[in-house]
Amino acid sequence: MTNDEIYMRRCIQLAMNGKKNAQPNPMVGAVIVHQGRIIGEGYHVCCGQGHAEVNAVKSLRRTALSELGAGATEMQIQEWVYSHCREAEIYVSLEPCAHFGKTPPCADMLALLQFKRCVIGCKDPFAKVSGRGIQKLKDAGIEVVVGVLEKKCLELNHTFFTFHAKHRPYVFLKWAQSADGCMALKREKPEDAALQVSTPHTQMLIHKERSEYQAILVGKNTAYLDNPSLTVRAWVGNNPLKVVAETHKEIPHLLDELYQKGIQSLMVEGGRKLLDSFLESGLWDEIQVEIGTENAGENGIAAPQLPHDCVQEEFELFGHHFLRLFPKRI
C-alpha cells in the first residue's frame, strides 16, 4: 500500500463520522500531511457547517499551539499555519467544492493557502463542482492527483452519487422471509394474524438502517393491514419520511417527485406487488433479505424472486441469515 493510499484510507475513516448528520451533503474526510507526519484532520460534521477541508485547516491551530507553546501569539500561529500549508499535502476523499453554497468554496481556500499537493479520492458529480474544483487547484499551481482509492471513495457516498447521476433516490429494497420462502401470510383485515420473522435483535439492525435513509416507502395494502409506524424506535436517529404508494404503477412518478424534493435515499419495505414493481423495472440499487428459522406454512405468500445477474453478499446475525444483492457494474 502506498503512502497516498494510507492517507486516503484515513480520509475515508474520518468521513464515516458524518454518516448521521452530513446528509444530504456527501460524507468527506480530509488529512493534512507535512513531511510524512499528519498535522491536521477534519471531516464534514453537519450539513450547513464547515466542510472537511475547512475543519482540517482549523485543526492546524492545535498542532501549532502544541509546537509553539501556549504563549504563542496569534500572528505566530498564523505564520506557522501558512508556512506549513505551503510545504504540505492535503488528502481529500471527494473533490473540493468550487461554488458558493451554505459555505464558501473549499477549492479557493486551498488555493489561497498554496498547498504543495492535493490528492483527491474521486471527482464530485454535482453539476456545480464536477471538475471545477480540480481545475481551480491546478490553476493555482498546486499538483493534483485524482483517483486514489477511487472505488472506496465512490462507495462511501453511493446515495449521493446515484441521486446526481440517475436523477432519483438510491433505492434499497428490504424484506424478511420465513425459512420456507414466504414474506407474509394471506390476510384480509388488520386483525388477521401476521407473519413475524424478525426478532427484537434483528429489528435493531433494520431500525439502524432506517435511520440512514431519508424516506421509507410502503404500499397502501401494507399501510392498511399493518399501519406501520416505520420509525427508528429500536435505535437512535431521525425517523425517515413515511411515503405510501397508492399503486405500484406510479413508481417512476413517485421517484421523480422524491428527486424534486431532494430526497437522496429511499428504503422500500412494501409487500410483494410493490417490491416486484421495483425489481421488474430495474429501479433498485440494493436488496437485503433477512431469512428466519421458522416456516410460514400453506397460508404464506411467497417472497419475490431474487435477480440472477447480481453481486451477492451473505452474513449471519443473531441466528438469522442475511443476503445483500447489488446490480453488477460494467
Per-residue pLDDT, averaged over 174-198, amounts to 94
| pTM to 2 decimal places | 0.85
List, by residue number, the catalytic residues. Answer: 53
In 8-74 the beta strands, taken as DSSP E runs, fall at 29-34, 37-43
Residues 246 and 141 in one domain: no
Instruction: Give the range among 96-100, 150-154, 253-257 with minimum mean pLDDT.
Output: 96-100
Residues belonging to the chain: 330
Q: According to the model, what pLDDT value does residue 125 have?
A: 77
Whether the link from the prior residue into 125 is cis, omega within 30° of 0, is: no
Q: According to the model, what pLDDT value does residue 106 have?
A: 93
Q: According to the model, what pLDDT value does residue 291 have?
A: 96
Domains identified in the chain, total number: 2
128 falls in which pLDDT band (50, 70, 90)?
Answer: low
Q: According to the model, what pLDDT value does residue 330 have?
A: 44
pLDDT in tens, 135-183: 999 999 999 999 999 999 999 999 999 998 899 999 999 999 999 999 9
The one-character DSSP state at 17 is G
Residue with grid cell 412518478, as numbered in its chain: 253
- CATH assignment of the domain containing 30: 3.40.140.10
Residues 127 and 247 in one domain: no
Q: According to the model, what pLDDT value does residue 329 have?
A: 64
The range of the structural domain enclosing residue 197 comes to: 165-327
E strand or H helix at 275, and its extent? helix 272-281
pLDDT in tens, 279-308: 999 999 999 999 999 999 999 999 999 998
Residues 180 and 277 in one domain: yes
Residue 108 has which C-alpha cell?
A: 479557493
Residues 57 and 121 in one domain: yes
Residues 241 and 134 in one domain: no
**What one-letter code names the amino acid at 113?**
L
